[in-house]
Amino acid sequence: MSKRRRETGAKTSNRTARGALQSHWQQHLKIASDSFKRLLQQPSASLMTIAVIGIALLLPSTLFVSMSNLNALSDSINGASKVTLYLHEEHTEGEALKISEQLLQREDVTTTEYISPAQAAEQFSVYSGLGDVIDALDENPLPGAIIVTPASIDADATQALATELAQLSIVDSMQLDLQWVERLQRFLQLVQRASTGLMLILALAVLFIVGNTIRLAIEGRRAEIVVVKLVGGTNSYVARPFLYAGAYYGLAGSILACILLAILMWAISGPARALLALYDSDFQLRTLGLSSTVFLLLIGTGLGWLGALISVRQHLSNIEP
């Protein structure tokens, strides 16, 4: 080895070490911006992939938002569930009002409301439109009732309260409309399970889509990869732009999913509000929310990166000079 070369060699390695960190980031930044430019260079291929990812991510996010709305709704309906106590015919209005007052003293009761047989008949004719039927009868057949709102929103506690109140001597029969709330909750649990499964399947779909797009990109740049490997590019160096591309696809796809979801929410918000108002007047329609949006973007980006990684692992090492 000649003396002159040794000197230059030493100088070089010193310089490289000093600039190494700065240069590492420079290198990453450059690759990141290069692969971004590359995406912009083939807009149609990129858009297709992004659209498919967006739709694949839209489905689970829509399910997620629907679920969170239905959950909130079922909670608020459950809270609003009422116990109706039908009273014996022979009770007087004074007795009924006294009982009603007493019930209101209980810790587990929020409100009580007495409905006299006359009021009941009136409500019946208003809501059923069968007022003539009542009028045709000599005597009002409807009993008086006390409507009790439980303090607890728990279905079991409400059930226990209702059973206890049914024992009162003035009470003829009791009605508790809990069953359909329970059914709704069971149904929601089922949907939740199903949507978890669906999310996994769709996550796989995203992996495949990105993987396939990256595979095509690798094929298209085969000659370039050979050259880079010939001048000493490692597998991970060659892989980096493809990993960035995968992450960009995932990010763009999840942004698209967010936009589509917002449009969807906006489109259904009117009718949905009208519907929900029937059950709970001050119910607020829930959107994806900030943390879930960030989560969706992270998941999308992560899936894109992972799909690219899998593809790169499979296809890149086959390309050797």
Partner 1 sequence: MIKFDNVSKRYPGGHQALSQVDFELADGEMAFLTGRSGAGKSTLLKLIMLMETTSQGQIFVNGKNLSRMPKHRIPFYRRRIGVVFQDHQLLFDRNVFENVALPLQIEGYPKHEADRRVRAALDKVGLLKKEKMLPITLSGGEQQRIGIARAVVNRPQILLADEPTGNLDPELAAEIMKLFEQFNQVGVSMLIASHDLSLITRLQHRILTLDTGRLILDAHHTAATAQPVGGK
Q: Applying CB under 8 A, which residues contact partner 1? A: 1-2, 4-6, 8-9, 12, 15-16, 18-20, 22-24, 26-27, 30, 224, 226-235, 237, 320-321
Name the minimum Å distance from CB 213 to partner 1: 19
Name the minimum Å distance from CB 42 to partner 1: 12
The CA distances from residue 269 to 47, 111, 287, in Å, are 29, 32, 10
Q: Which two tokens stand for residue 178?
A: 């809990």
| Rounded-to-integer distance, Cα 149 and Cα 84, Å | 9
Give whichever of 24 and 183 is closer to partner 1, judged by the CB atom: 24
Give whichever of 4 and 281 is closer to partner 1, judged by the CB atom: 4
Name the minimum Å distance from CB 19 to partner 1: 3
Give whichever of 20 and 126 is closer to partner 1, judged by the CB atom: 20
Give whichever of 90 and 320 is closer to partner 1, judged by the CB atom: 320
Give whichever of 5 and 139 is closer to partner 1, judged by the CB atom: 5
Q: Which two tokens stand for residue 244?
A: 């960035």
3-state SS, residue 148: strand
From the number of C-beta atoms within 10 Å of its C-beta (0-12, 13-18, 19+), residue 190 rates as exposed
Name the minimum Å distance from CB 258 to partner 1: 33
Name the minimum Å distance from CB 250 to partner 1: 25
| Rounded-to-integer distance, Cα 14 and Cα 26, Å | 18
| Rounded-to-integer distance, Cα 101 and Cα 111, Å | 10
Contact 82, 153 (CB under 8 A): no
Q: Which two tokens stand for residue 283?
A: 């119910």
